[in-house]
Amino acid sequence: MTTDPREHTKQTLAQLGIKTPDAIAQEFAELRRQFDQENINFIDIGVSAHDQSAALRLYWLGRKAGILSQITNNWLKTAPPELKPAVGQELNKLKAHIELVLEESLNHFKEQVDLQLGVPEDLSLPGIERAFGTRHLIRQTFEELQRIFTAIGFSVVEGPEIETPYYNFEALNIPEHHPARDNMDTFYIEGARSSYLLRTHTSPMQIRTMEKEKPPVRIVVPGKVYRRDNPDATHGYMFHQIEGLAVDTDITFCDFKGAVEYFAREFLGPKTKTRLRPSYFPFTEPSAEVDATCHVCGGKGCRVCKFSGWIELFGAGMVNPAVYGFVKYDPERLSGFAFGMGVDRLAMMKYGVTEVPLLFQNDVRFLRQFP
Ligand SMILES: [Zn+2]
């Protein structure tokens, strides 16, 4: 039988000339072969094969005009009583076979669809490139400064940016009437002279550390500080500082000078020389401005050093004994030095940046220059 199964099963067994159970079995075997062939044709076609599988099911199992319904009507119902059991048996076997195969095909298609939806990656394609960030120039400078000082025994501590006037001023020997405490210069939180302010320097951590720790103390304090400056090429309302403090029983001015010289050589190069100019800070006595020979011209004079040969590095000095009184350190027995560096200024000077706003505009064309 190679005819169309639909046309073939429209005829009765008598019309087809089928008279024995063997002939019936042959008829069903042929139908099964035809079904299998049609099913194989649909497998591996892809997603749309799902729809074709549904069409196959309708063609064979459809209630109204499916092949199996036609067999029931035209073969089973009209068969002579002696052939009915054979037709019924073969019909049930064919039906079970078709249902099983169609279910397997459907599962196969589902797997195909899952594969196509779930694993879209082609591992041979180039990946999505995401630009790597780099450390900001200020962060790089902080890390360099910390490396220089931790190498000679300092440890790094950080403290709060919101401070009390006591830690920011009083305990650092900056009295009530000092102009730095004016709210023209300092950001107070919720009204003038309230109980909190934005720290104007990292020095409060000197006090906080000495309150907690017995001498010897050797710390550097990196962080942000805030002052009420109008932003221009050399000022912002926020800048970065690194504070240093060393206190022990035998620290002399020589140690102070040695630390300063060591720092200048590490930061600006081995040939750098330093000089100290007298200055004034309430929390150090004596106080000094530390200058270094210009790293660009080596001291001959150039635009960077304004033709003086020297550049200003930072302010420093021996800790004012009055400060020890606030932290219950014995000023008769202890001595030490402290310094406070403007990190932004040091970075600008070293790397030739001319304007403060460049540091914080996040323009990648600028930032990319300091990978
Ligand atoms: Zn110079």
Q: pLDDT tens digits for 291-319?
A: 999 988 888 988 888 899 998 889 999 99
Backbone dihedral angles phi then psi of residue 369, each to the nearest 5 degrees: -75, -10
- Ligand 1 centroid – CA 371 distance (Å): 25
- The answer to whether 203 and 195 are in contact (CB under 8 A) is no
Quick one: pLDDT band at residue 44, thresholds 50, 70, 90?
low
- Ligand 1 centroid – CA 268 distance (Å): 12
Output the pLDDT for position 52. 75
- Ligand 1 centroid – CA 272 distance (Å): 12
Which of 119-133, 212-226, 329-343 comes out lowest in average pLDDT?
119-133
- Ligand 1 centroid – CA 346 distance (Å): 15
Residue 136 and residue 133: Cα distance in Å, rounded? 9
At residue 43's C-alpha, the angle toward residues 37 and 47, to 5°, is 145
- The answer to whether 87 and 79 are in contact (CB under 8 A) is yes
Quick one: pLDDT band at residue 360, thresholds 50, 70, 90?
confident
Statement: residue 109 has pLDDT above 90:
no
- Ligand 1 centroid – CA 344 distance (Å): 19
Strands 155-156 and 217-226: parallel
- Ligand 1 centroid – CA 183 distance (Å): 37
Contacts of residue 275, defined as CB under 8 A and 6 or more positions apart, other chains included, come to 290, 291, 310
* Assigned token pair, 300: 């001959």
Q: For residue range 151-209, list pLDDT tens digits in order.
A: 999 999 999 999 988 899 888 888 888 776 776 688 888 755 558 889 999 999 999 99
- Ligand 1 centroid – CA 313 distance (Å): 13
What value does the mean pLDDT take over residues 202-224? 92
- The answer to whether 319 and 336 are in contact (CB under 8 A) is yes
Mean pLDDT of the chain: 86
- Ligand 1 centroid – CA 274 distance (Å): 14
Output the pLDDT for position 2. 57
- Ligand 1 centroid – CA 118 distance (Å): 64
Strand partners, 335: 248
> Domains along the chain?
5-118 (no CATH), 137-367 (3.30.930.10)
- Ligand 1 centroid – CA 297 distance (Å): 4
- Ligand 1 centroid – CA 306 distance (Å): 7
- Ligand 1 centroid – CA 325 distance (Å): 42
- Ligand 1 centroid – CA 293 distance (Å): 8
Residue 283 and residue 203: Cα distance in Å, rounded? 9
- Ligand 1 centroid – CA 337 distance (Å): 28
Residue 237 and residue 30: Cα distance in Å, rounded? 92
